[in-house]
Structure 1
Amino acid sequence: MTAEPLETTVVTSLVRDATAAPSVHNAQPWRFRYLAARCAIRLFGDPERAMAKSDPDHRALHLGCGAALFNLRVAAASAGREPYTVLLPDPADPWLLAEVRLDRPVRQDDDLAALHPAIHRRRTSRFPFTGEGIPTGVLDRLRAAARTEGARLQVPGAWHVQEVLHLLHDAESRESLDPEAREELRRWTGMGGATPPGEGVPASAFGPRQHDVTAPVRDFAAGRTVVGRGSATFEKRPQLALLGTTHDGPADWLTAGQALQRVLLQATLDGLVTSLTSQALEWPELRWALRDPASSMGHVQMVIRLGYGPEGPRSARRPVEDVLEMA
């Protein structure tokens, strides 16, 4: 059974939900094209929003686009459409990352729509968490969410958490000494000049400075003074999760991005707050060391900080008309 064509307002709403996904430095490296004749939405990566220094292989760009793709699938299911998805459909166009056909009604057994209320509730929180332990049942649901999308979520033990924190601090030190890395960070935070509205990480989202650097929260101020920004004590024993895949190519990165977003939406529904940290992933020799050698996880794609605490501010997004083309 073929569904009715999508109205322009519906397409716009679907893409608006898709763009609520997280991306490194809130660069929003995506573009969408609606093909009315195919009743399909195509997702493209935007190379102009790539991070030349920290993401030369565009791994993080693919993760962000994968997260947006998952939001699109959730939004489509909520709107009553089955999101039949093909990754990397055209080998001749590596920037065409996915096509989502929407010409069929959603299946009765599709559970994606249940995640829809979390899309705009999910925030990145760079504030202190309480340190309250996360119940095993909640962690099991997050692990299952990652598996559903073809990835793995590992909750490291105490010794591994300390090793991860050590590697993250190492990455921060390297970044502070690298002029290109510092300039790239300033470009996306407005610390080096005006950042266009609706993109980047504004000072209001930096969170407080840490008294003792115990939690893996990136200091977007990079040591610079931000008017009105205070300081706080963060949790001493951060609760982390590593999201990873067996292989490490563009399709795996898109898979990881979708798994990441499913985990984040499930965490939001379960009352958790989250933040993401990618510093050590930006240095190949540190990224490899993040994995637990006793684990079968081949490649770590993201480090997630989980817990209970205040929500972060809502991050601005570019207008839908800036990222959506109707064809």
Structure 2
Amino acid sequence: MHCPTTIMIGSAYGEAALRLAAEAGIQAPSMHNIQPWLFGLRDGAVEVRVDPARRLATGRGGWAARIACGAAALNARLALAAAGQHALVALHPDPADRNLVARLMPGRARPATPGEAELHGAIGRRYSNRGPFWPAPVPTAVRAALIEAARLEGAWLDLLVGTTAIAAFSEIAQSADRVLRRDERYQAELAGWTHADTAPDGVPVTAGAPFAEPQDVLPQRLFADRRRTPGHDYEPEPLIGVLGVPGDRPVDQTAAGVAMQKVLLTATAAGLDTSMISQPIEVPAACEMLRRALGRTGQPQIVIRFGYGTPGHPTRRRAVDDVLI
């Protein structure tokens, strides 16, 4: 992780702030690790933008890129806070510029809060663990912290508890996965983002989940065709969290990305592993079924699996200079 650099306080951010923001931002998660972000300076503010060349054709109208860029914006905000500069963040500030998802403007100088410092320290340790988790339960206090992390960013996180809730979610998720498996364009795009371990983007074959088995509760994407070791099944009652926001406009999706990253970093700081489940969000009918099952009036935006697993490492990222504009 890059060591924080003191930023000269003034009325505008400069190149040092831009690089700090980008170095943290590129470590955010994105669907298939497409890394759909660009970072630049304009009028003294750091801007996070969607890279139109890296939008998924099957990413639900840009949802996948926006939620990823929201997560990158949260990382950038934390990096600036760790450097002693509070950032004022505006999401989608220019209706005429659809690719501009966040503008971080200089706020008052102050030290990072303990919470900001803890989350900033977790950025480099966060990664998606697609393997089986251990049966150890997640403590109640940690569950409460995850829910509070979402709430503080204007989102909600519903943790599914009990076999009935998990079974109902499993049926929705598996149904959505079957729909996506029949979509040839979707599967071709998925294959196109599955790369060798040395690639700077995409999902390495070795990072994919083991081949799905009939007893699995949750669906797995086919990043790899390796079989799991006998006796290493997935947990029968995984801790599943559904994160949502009040609406489903582009700004809502970006806000969901900010909240998602806050939850993921909170989990990482608490020693948890995480992975994302997007199939029931990508299929509109399944997403509506999930919303109704939860009794929510808002829109589910991502599903997160929490637990304790075998340690891994983050996937590769593009160089900072490749994302600066």
Q: TM-score, normalised by structure 2?
A: 0.89
When residues 156 and 252 of structure 1 are mapped into structure 2, their CA distance, relative to the original with a 3 A threshold, is: same
After superposition, residues 1-327 of structure 1 pair within 5 angstroms as: 3-4=9-10, 8-35=15-42, 38-53=43-58, 55-102=59-106, 104-106=108-110, 111-158=115-162, 159-190=164-195, 197-216=199-218, 218-221=220-223, 225=225, 230-231=228-229, 232-293=232-293, 295-325=295-325
Distance (whole Å) between structure 1 residues aligned to residue 41 and residue 114 of structure 2: 23
Q: CA deviation at 1:238?
A: 1.1
Give the stretch that moved more between structures: 146-155 or 286-295: 286-295
Distance (whole Å) between structure 1 residues aligned to residue 96 and residue 114 of structure 2: 32
Give the total of aligned pairs. Answer: 314
Q: CA deviation at 1:218?
A: 2.2
Give the stretch that moved more between structures: 99-108 or 180-189: 99-108
Q: CA deviation at 1:6?
A: 5.2
Distance (whole Å) between structure 1 residues aligned to residue 158 and residue 281 of structure 2: 16
Q: CA deviation at 1:187?
A: 1.0
Distance (whole Å) between structure 1 residues aligned to residue 275 and residue 294 of structure 2: 26
Q: Is the 8 A contact 1:124 1:273 kept in 2?
A: yes
Distance (whole Å) between structure 2 residues aligned to residue 102 and residue 217 of structure 1: 43
Distance (whole Å) between structure 2 residues aligned to residue 253 and residue 21 of structure 1: 15
Q: Is the 8 A contact 1:73 1:112 kept in 2?
A: no
Q: Is the 8 A contact 1:27 1:188 kept in 2?
A: yes
Provide the secondary structure at the position in 2 that maps to 1:32: strand
Q: Is the 8 A contact 1:212 1:233 kept in 2?
A: no
Distance (whole Å) between structure 2 residues aligned to residue 318 and residue 115 of structure 1: 22
When residues 134 and 292 of structure 1 are mapped into structure 2, their CA distance, relative to the original with a 3 A threshold, is: farther
Provide the secondary structure at the position in 2 that maps to 1:125: coil
When residues 146 and 297 of structure 1 are mapped into structure 2, their CA distance, relative to the original with a 3 A threshold, is: farther
Q: CA deviation at 1:103?
A: 5.6
**Amino acid across the alignment from 1:11:** L
Deviations 1:202-243 (A, max 9, x none): 10110323444424352333xx645xx644311111110100
When residues 108 and 78 of structure 1 are mapped into structure 2, their CA distance, relative to the original with a 3 A threshold, is: closer
Distance (whole Å) between structure 1 residues aligned to residue 145 and residue 292 of structure 2: 21
CA RMSD of aligned residues (A): 2.2
Provide the secondary structure at the position in 2 that maps to 1:102: strand
When residues 286 and 296 of structure 1 are mapped into structure 2, their CA distance, relative to the original with a 3 A threshold, is: closer
Distance (whole Å) between structure 2 residues aligned to residue 31 and residue 110 of structure 1: 29
Q: CA deviation at 1:108?
A: 6.9
Distance (whole Å) between structure 1 residues aligned to residue 217 and residue 306 of structure 2: 11
Q: CA deviation at 1:256?
A: 0.7
Give the stretch that moved more between structures: 203-212 or 78-87: 203-212
Q: CA deviation at 1:98?
A: 1.2
Distance (whole Å) between structure 2 residues aligned to residue 7 and residue 280 of structure 1: 41
Deviations 1:78-134 (A, max 9, x none): 011111111111111111111101363136768423311100001100111012211
Distance (whole Å) between structure 2 residues aligned to residue 196 and residue 94 of structure 1: 33
When residues 6 and 236 of structure 1 are mapped into structure 2, their CA distance, relative to the original with a 3 A threshold, is: same
Q: TM-score, normalised by structure 1?
A: 0.89
Q: Is the 8 A contact 2:247 2:298 kept in 1?
A: yes
Q: CA deviation at 1:51?
A: 1.5
**Amino acid across the alignment from 1:243:** L
Distance (whole Å) between structure 1 residues aligned to residue 212 and residue 290 of structure 2: 23
Give the stretch that moved more between structures: 176-185 or 99-108: 99-108
Unaligned runs of 5+ in 1: none
When residues 59 and 213 of structure 1 are mapped into structure 2, their CA distance, relative to the original with a 3 A threshold, is: farther
Provide the secondary structure at the position in 2 that maps to 1:100: strand
